[in-house]
Amino acid sequence: GRLVHGGATLDGNGLGVEEQEIGEVELRVSTDGSLLVVEQARVDGPLLKAATEAEIDLERREATVRALEAEVNGRAARLTQPLSLSWSEDGFALADLALDSLGGQVRGSLRRAGADWQGSLTVRAVDLRQLAGELEGHLDCDLTATGTRFEVLATVPEFAFEGHRGRLELKISQEQGGIRLDRLELEAGGALKATGVGQLPFRLDPDSGALVRLEEPDHPTRLSIRGEITDASLFVKKIVSGGLAFSIEADQQGLQASAELRKVVLDGGVELPSRTTLGLGGGADGLVLTVNSEPDGIGELNGTVRSDEPVVWTEPTTLKRAFEKGRVKGKVRINLPDLQFVARLVTQVRHLEGAAQ
């Protein structure tokens, strides 16, 4: 029926849904014809604290959110100007989004008409400490989208991590041919450096938000990521010192990844061979894992493990299937001139002498 002029108030204390406590709820509304006025809607609970004021015109299918403040897990957001909404049978429009949140500003709009999407989002000076407590700095981000096409540019002009200062620039876009990694540039002083580009055989579906694999992409698949970590202890707790260089190269034929460990010392003073290279390759011929270390008096470790089950690197489940269904064979050679290496590695061993091969 048609709404008539009136009013209502709802108060609740300790309201819960499916055994999840919401907290105290307050709702005050009034009506005038097709106009529904939310004079006060408030939730005060352990997970969510929010308060809003809005006007909803059901006949014109329009709404204006005049005020909104919310806090989730200690992170707050507040509208800085009224937000406009409208809807129809085949879509909706959100305009004039302006939020102060996470120490920065968020501005944007979004429209959908049938299968057509169009939107933009601008993020400025978001405090990284509110996203990842160990990082100091500010994030800027720009997003534009039309239909299935989009472009995202995220930059951190300067950040601080464990005493190192760095920067990040990441650009990702999507066209009909799939998702493209246009640019990855990450640098953290002398501790970390990484670069990357690529064309991936995936498409982000705007309706479901799911990644869809393209069986016949318009552009050749390729991915190239290279980097170097001079102080691996910043990222792996068991490592005391040392670094590594890594690379990932992939195309339609398969993937090749490698990591070269350089003078790595583990917790407890365990020194690994000064240069140890780990490799992973996958393609139509199967999966190959390799390890090779240079002789340096500490020890040698060389080996290869293979599975003949085909691997498609864009389908992670095939990696698991390679070991479950494939014929796995391999050969590993270990040479330890001093078994004290094992005693230091396995802390339960108190004393060990000799050599092993």
pTM (2 decimals)?
0.80
The one-letter code for the residue type at 258 is S
pLDDT tens digits along 249-262 = 999 899 999 999 99
Report the chain's mean pLDDT, rounded to a whole number. 85
Range 215-241 average pLDDT:
89
- Residue located via tokens 């070991």: 323
Tokens linked to 107: 């501005």
Quick check: 339 pLDDT over 90? no
How many whole angstroms separate alpha carbon 282 and alpha carbon 285? 7
212: tokens are 């869809």
What is the distance between the terminal CA atoms of the chain, rounded to a whole angstrom?
A: 87
What pLDDT is recorded for position 45? 87
Pick 314 or 353 by higher pLDDT: 314
Q: Give 106-144 pLDDT, tens digit per residue.
A: 999 999 998 889 999 999 999 999 888 788 999 999 999
- Residues 32-50 have a mean pLDDT of 91
Q: Which of 83-97, 233-247, 294-308 has the highest mean pLDDT?
A: 83-97
DSSP 304-325: EEEE-S---TT-THHHHHHHHT
Question: What pLDDT is attached to residue 283?
Answer: 92
Instruction: Tell me what the mean pLDDT of segment 210-216 comes to.
Output: 88
